[in-house]
Amino acid sequence: MTRTETATAGESSVVAKLSTLDRFLAVWILAAMAAGLGLGRAVPGLNDALAEVEIGGVSLPIALGLLVMMYPVLAKVRYDRLDAVTGDRRLMISSLVINWLIGPAVMFALAWIFLPDLPEYRTGLIVVGLARCIAMVIIWNDLACGDREATAVLVALNSVFQVLAFGLLGWFYLELLPGWLGLGDGRHLDISMGKIALNVVIFLGIPLLAGFLTRRIGESKLGREGYETRFLPRIGPWALYGLLFTIVVLFALQGKTITSRPLDVARIAVPLLAYFAIMWFGTFALGKAIGLAYDRTATLAFTAAGNNFELAIAVAIATFGVTSGQALSGVVGPLIEVPVLVALVYVSLAWRRRFADGQQLTLAPQEG
């Protein structure tokens, strides 16, 4: 049997072992989106009631869902292997360049190309492009059998740059660059480093610390094998439960807005679709070209394509108002991102077999 045939057989066995929840993930996610939109539309005042449950501009229901979603995945990370990731200069440099130079520039260009006559929506999309993903990417990467340790390092790196660079890049892309290009669309982005830091602490710091402590304490009590074979399978399904809960809450919050403005949503969706395709496929091709193994290539691609929708929505609402076009662009972001990245998980797994020809494929699924 050739290596490619072995890889295909390995993929089939992995699929066969998936639980019902995992195997029909796309169905459950679409159902969660529909349920959230339906609840937001059908239940009077639900979106306002959910929006009021927040602290410092952070929605507590969404925060709860994201924390439940991220904790099991971060508890699976083998933190003693992080040195091998930080020593991979190809991965680290590529991630920084793609996330903080190329990603925002691509979104800026697409926003102006597709929405030249709609400045509010255009500004909202640019804000989405500045908010690099530090949360949901963890579960997309895990579903695609990416490198968990690399994901932990890259999202931590993104979180540091998010605190330091978000405001600066907002000024550059919304005020300085349009003036240089004679576009005359200068917009001020009023967001403090403290608020961004709070966002990072809640959506990455808390689950990362919980996952690290769980791994350390669990291994000390059960040993590595016992921890990964007995404990992790018990908490594993909660990642997807948290994801589905987050999706329902998110779309319930904005269900009325989305369903009442379908043509505007369609206009905003087009550049978003182009953005996700360019970022994911371009980064995946780059990873393969520079010789990264499949798991790190997948990690690089998903961290490049994903965005921190919670931060983008919070910034848009705080700066421009809850009923603004900028806020609607932020809301449409996850409406498009969630199903697209779910589809890209399956595309990524299909590409996994092609790496066998270069002997870069890990045939066995990750532990836990």
pLDDT on residue 7 = 44
- The Cα 190–Cα 228 span in angstroms is 45
Buried b (16+ CB within 10 A) or exposed e, 301-315: bbbbbbbbbbbbbbb
pLDDT on residue 310 = 73
Q: Is residue 145 included in any domain, yes or no?
A: yes
* Structural domain that includes position 153: 56-247+256-352
What total number of domains does the chain contain?
Answer: 1
Q: What is the pTM of this model?
A: 0.78
Which residues share a beta bridge with 307? 132
Q: Is residue 262 included in any domain, yes or no?
A: yes
pLDDT on residue 176 = 84
> Phi first, then psi: what are they for 187, rounded to 5°?
-130, 135
Q: Is residue 279 included in any domain, yes or no?
A: yes
- The Cα 329–Cα 89 span in angstroms is 35
Low-confidence spans in the chain with pLDDT less than 50: 1-17, 359-368
- The Cα 94–Cα 142 span in angstroms is 20
pLDDT on residue 147 = 93
For residue 242, give the amino acid letter. Answer: G
Q: Is residue 194 included in any domain, yes or no?
A: yes
Q: Is residue 195 included in any domain, yes or no?
A: yes
pLDDT on residue 128 = 92
Contact 227, 219 (CB under 8 A): yes
Find the CATH number of the domain harbouring 206: 1.20.1530.20
Q: Is residue 282 included in any domain, yes or no?
A: yes
Q: Is residue 49 included in any domain, yes or no?
A: no
Question: Widest CA span of the chain, in angstroms?
Answer: 63
Q: Is residue 207 included in any domain, yes or no?
A: yes
Among 289, 308, 288, which residue's Cα sits nearest to residue 348? 288
pLDDT, tens only, 324-338: 788 888 888 888 888
pLDDT, tens only, 192-207: 667 677 777 777 788 8
Where does the chain have alpha helices with state H?
3-17, 20-23, 25-42, 46-52, 60-76, 82-86, 89-97, 103-114, 119-130, 137-143, 148-171, 177-180, 193-200, 206-226, 232-235, 237-260, 262-289, 294-305, 309-320, 325-351
Tell me the two tokens of residue 332: 């449409």
